[in-house]
């Protein structure tokens, strides 16, 4: 017997263009990966045969793959920090809803602050132009279900 | 003639107090032994020296919305990873070791081999592709000794008030007596009410007894998982489980694995 799977197409990703409110850019996206990394340091002492680790802290990053699109409020302008790129280097809020907009018991919301780390635009002669954005965490990563 | 193959689909995996195998589709138990080149001058062939060992454990699972094994309570399975290391205020826990129990074999019955480790979450990737299922890729780092043991209890049953032994008579052969002590892990993944249970691993030199206490887990009042290592008792090849219910009869679903060290 299996549980109800969460399908990726229901995911929602919002990120701010600047220091203000988040903007939903999901309509242009096709894949999101939230990477949580916990930094464990080797704290093994003399006399033991198996390594022992101590958890130090955590960090996170987000990989966002999308179709490239231009215009007010869509992905290119949002990620680039507005039409003049005035806020490209701003710390921005984000929200990631893996199972649709929540939060609720079955629709967790991940949120926090990020900096844009990279945003390559790829144009292929025989395909759709795409964009991949990578964000680096700049705050606590929060998980909410209510 | 070849040995019967073990199909991966029958593997079982418990992360902390969650029977995550019911939502997972891939697990890898990675043993790494750290070797250093100790070759001196004058030797034509490199000579390695073993320093120590470490374990990591990767679990890939589907992102689901109900808690296994019953799939009735709302529970998105990213929690099976997240809750091991991060508390309700989104702060990182001080000592977030949790047991992971891995049964790669086919049956997962009492007496079957099982691997277990006390581990810390190292990473979690939550992936939601537009054209696929939401998936979770988690990696744990074992902290301390690796358990290459056996299942000594795997039951879902009602426990009456008082002591129930598993098995009812005799014990489970751990294959080796050991010289240092006993190591065990428990996962109580289902608990129907609120009684307090005291669960022990007991050991003996013969299957028929006499049995004494080797490991006493902390009192269990809700679903829980624990890892214990005790060096006060060693050299006894047969293990059994004592379940003492201090309250009214209730149902537990549990797995306990142990080994002698």
Rounded mean pLDDT of chain B? 94
Task: Please provide the CATH number assigned to the domain covering B8-39+46-142.
Answer: 2.30.110
Give me the mean pLDDT over the B12-38 stretch: 94
B 17-36: CB under 8 A from A: 22-23, 34
A1 belongs to a structural domain: no
Provide the whole-model pTM. Answer: 0.91
A127 C-beta neighbours (distance < 10 Å), count: 8
Q: Reply yes or no on whether the pLDDT at B6 is more than 90.
A: no
> How many domains does chain A divide into?
1
Query: Is A29 inside any structural domain?
Result: yes
Q: What is the number of other CB atoms lying within 10 angstroms of the CB of residue B231?
A: 10
Model confidence pLDDT, tens digit, residues B197-256: 999 999 999 999 899 999 999 999 999 999 999 888 888 999 999 999 999 999 999 999
Q: What is the CATH number of the domain that holds A74?
A: 2.40.10
- Give residue B107's pLDDT band: very low, low, confident or very high (50, 70, 90): confident
Quick one: pLDDT band at residue B140, thresholds 50, 70, 90? very high
Ramachandran class of B8: left when φ > 0, alpha when ψ lies in -120 to 50, beta otherwise: alpha
The answer to whether position A48 is within a domain reads no
Q: Do B86 and A110 touch (CB under 8 A)?
A: no
Share of chain B above pLDDT 70, in %: 100
* Domain interval for residue A79: 9-38+57-144
Mean pLDDT, rounded, for B188-198: 96
- Per-residue pLDDT, averaged over B9-19, amounts to 94
Q: What average pLDDT does the segment A84-107 reach?
A: 94
Average confidence score pLDDT of chain A: 93
Q: Which residues from B are below 8 Å from A107, CB to CB? A: 76
Q: Which of residues 70-129 of A touch B (CB under 8 A)?
A: 96, 98-99, 105-108, 110
- In this prediction, residue B166 carries a pLDDT of 95
Is A47 within a domain? no
CA B235 to CA B167: how far, in whole Å? 20
B62 touches chain A (CB under 8 A): yes
- The C-alpha of B42 sits at a distance from chain A's nearest C-alpha, in angstroms, of 30
Contact B143/B119 with Cβ under 8 angstroms?
yes
* B32/B51 Cα distance (integer angstroms): 11
Q: Is the pLDDT of residue B12 over 80?
A: yes
pLDDT at B40 over 80: yes
Any domain includes A94: yes
Both structure tokens of B255: 């797995």
Nearest-Cα distance to chain A for B235, in Å, is 20
Fold of B151-260: Jelly Rolls (2.60.120)
Chain A: residue whose CA lies nearest to B92: A57
Identify whether A50 is part of a domain: no
B213 forms beta bridges with: B202
Confidence tier at A1 by pLDDT (50, 70, 90): low
Average pLDDT over residues A101-106: 94
More confident residue, A114 or A84: A114
Q: Is there a contact between A40 and B132 if contact means CB atoms under 8 Å apart?
A: no
pLDDT of residue A2: 65
Residue A73 confidence (pLDDT): 81
Contacts of A6 (CB under 8 A, 6+ apart): A98, A99, B62, B63, B64, B65, B76, B128, B133, B134
* Cis before B93? omega within 30: no
> Does residue A44 fall inside a structural domain?
no
- Optimal mutation site among A40, A66, A96, interface B, most CBs of chain B within 10 A: A40
- Which one of B55, B90, B141 has the shortest CB-CB distance to A143? B90
Q: Nearest-CA distance from B161 to chain A in Å?
A: 31
Segment A41-68 mean pLDDT: 93
Q: Is the pLDDT of residue A56 over 70?
A: yes
Instruction: Give the pLDDT score at A71.
Output: 81
Report yes or no on A17 lying in a domain: yes
pLDDT value at A117 more than 80: yes
Q: Do A8 and B132 touch (CB under 8 A)?
A: yes
CB < 8 Å to A99, chain B: 63, 65, 76, 134
Residue spans of the domains in chain B: they are 8-39+46-142, 151-260
Contacts of B129 in chain A (CB under 8 A): 8, 30-31
Chain A contact present for B37, CB below 8 A: no
CB-nearest partner of B125 from A33, A52, A110 = A33
Give the alpha-carbon dihedral of A104, A108, A113, A115, to 10 degrees: -140
* B95 interfaces chain A, CB cutoff of 8 Å: yes
Instruction: Indicate yes or no: CB of A51 within 8 angstroms of CB of B90.
Output: no
Query: Where does the pLDDT of residue A4 fall: very low under 50, low under 70, confident under 90, or very high at 90 and above?
Result: confident
What residue ranges in chain A does DSSP mark as E strands?
A: 12-16, 22-24, 29-42, 53-67, 92-97, 109-118, 121-122, 130-137, 142-144
Task: Tell me the average pLDDT across B144-168.
Answer: 95
Is the separation of the CB atoms in B247 and B161 below 8 Å? Answer: yes
**In the numeric block, which tokens belong to residue B7?**
């199909």
Residues 6+ apart with CB under 8 A from A124: A130
The answer to whether ipTM exceeds 0.85 is yes
């Amino acid at each position: 017997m299996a549980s109800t799977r969460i399908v990726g197409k229901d995911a929602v990703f919002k990120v701010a263009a600047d220091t203000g409110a988040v903007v939903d850019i999901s309509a242009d996206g096709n894949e999101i990966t939230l990477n949580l990394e916990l930094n464990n340091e080797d704290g093994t002492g003399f006399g033991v045969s198996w390594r022992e680790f101590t958890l130090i802290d955590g960090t996170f990053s987000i990989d966002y793959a999308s179709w490239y699109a231009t215009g007010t409020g869509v992905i290119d302008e949002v990620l680039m920090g507005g039409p003049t790129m005035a806020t490209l280097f701003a710390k921005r809020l984000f929200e990631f809803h893996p199972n649709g907009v929540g939060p609720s018991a079955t629709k967790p919301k991940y949120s926090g602050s990020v900096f844009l780390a990279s945003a390559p635009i790829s144009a292929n002669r025989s395909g759709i132009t795409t964009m991949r954005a990578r964000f680096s965490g700049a705050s606590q990563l929060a998980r909410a279900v209510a | 003639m070849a040995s019967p193959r073990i199909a991966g689909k029958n593997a079982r995996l418990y992360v902390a107090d969650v029977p995550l195998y019911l939502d997972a589709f891939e697990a890898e138990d990675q043993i790494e032994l750290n070797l250093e080149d100790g070759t001196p001058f004058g030797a034509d062939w490199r000579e390695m020296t073993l320093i120590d060992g470490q374990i990591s454990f990767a679990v890939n699972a589907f992102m689901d919305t109900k808690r296994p094994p019953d799939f009735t309570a709302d529970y998105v399975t990213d929690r099976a990873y997240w809750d091991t290391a991060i508390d309700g205020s989104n702060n990182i826990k001080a000592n977030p070791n949790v047991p992971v129990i891995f049964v790669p074999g086919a049956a997962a019955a009492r007496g079957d081999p099982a691997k277990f480790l006390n581990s810390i979450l190292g990473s979690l990737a939550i992936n939601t592709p537009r054209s696929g299922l939401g998936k979770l890729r988690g990696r744990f780092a074992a902290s301390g000794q690796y358990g290459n043991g056996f299942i000594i209890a795997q039951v879902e049953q009602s426990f009456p008030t008082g002591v129930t032994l598993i098995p009812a008579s005799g014990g489970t052969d751990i294959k080796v007596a050991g010289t240092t002590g006993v190591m065990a892990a428990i996962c109580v993944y289902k608990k129907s009410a609120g009684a307090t249970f005291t669960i022990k691993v007991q050991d003996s030199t013969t299957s028929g007894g006499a049995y004494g206490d080797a490991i006493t887990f902390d009192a269990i009042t809700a679903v829980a998982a624990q890892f214990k290592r005790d060096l006060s008792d060693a050299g006894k090849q047969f293990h059994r489980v004592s379940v003492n219910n201090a309250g009214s009869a209730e149902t537990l679903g549990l797995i306990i694995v142990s080994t002698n060290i």
